[in-house]
Amino acid sequence: MSGKKKTRRSLTPAERALWEKVVAHAAPMRQAAEPPTTADTPPARPIPPKPAHSITYFRIGQASPAPQQRRDLVPSLEESFALSGGNKTPAMDRKRFEKLKRGKLAIDARLDLHGMTQARAQAALSIFVRDSHASGKRLLLVITGKGRDGDNDDIMPTPRGILKHQVPRWLAQPPLAPLILQVNQAHRRHGGAGAYYVYLRRRRVG
């Protein structure tokens, strides 16, 4: 036997042209048909199609659905008092407290925080309360506004009216808390849910 290896013959130009023509007209093979079922093999059940997503169509002139009502994350002072069954004892005299809720007590000074940032509002509130207490004033009106509705699609929705919720917290903390006897939501004639009555303690003389 000869030890020479056989070499592959290259295609001639005519053979290459014929091969390219065959490839150009060749069609892909069809998928194999499903095997026939027998008595021992039950036919496969067809898979039902996935249901299409329901689409709500909107016509021009059609009324849009009512927007979801936005709720405050923190209850007002009046709501907190009601949730306690109305048995929460006010720090001030009961009769004067009832007059306060009805807006019957004279207001000695007022502060409007509309349009202020939190930092500026807190500083203004602190100065206002301390100066009013030093001058012997008793009933103050602090106006915060009710706030405006914003986007409620956030993961952590923000409360409506940030100053409305922050002012009672600032009043309950030092250095203002020792000067204050009572904080209550104002009567509607004085701003309602957008304002607070701040009733100060008497200034000690001497």
In a domain, 115, yes or no: yes
What is the percent of the chain where pLDDT is above 90?
41
How high does pLDDT run on average in the chain?
76
Closest CA relative to residue 190, chosen from 142, 148, 146, 133: 142
Contacts (Cβ under 8 Å, ≥6 apart) of 125: 111, 113, 142, 167, 170, 171, 176
Number of neighbours of residue 116 by Cβ within 10 angstroms: 15
**pLDDT on residue 86:** 45
In a domain, 196, yes or no: no
In a domain, 179, yes or no: yes
53-57, 136-140, 156-160, 163-167: the lowest-pLDDT one = 156-160
How does pLDDT run across 71-121, given as a tens digit for each residue? Answer: 555 555 555 544 444 446 788 889 999 999 999 999 999 999 988 999 999
In a domain, 116, yes or no: yes
Number of domains in the chain: 1
In a domain, 145, yes or no: no
In a domain, 121, yes or no: yes
| Top mean-pLDDT range of 36-40, 50-54, 165-169 | 165-169
Range of the domain at 119: 94-137+160-190
In a domain, 37, yes or no: no
This prediction has a pTM of 0.57
Residue 57 or residue 68, greater confidence: 57
In a domain, 106, yes or no: yes
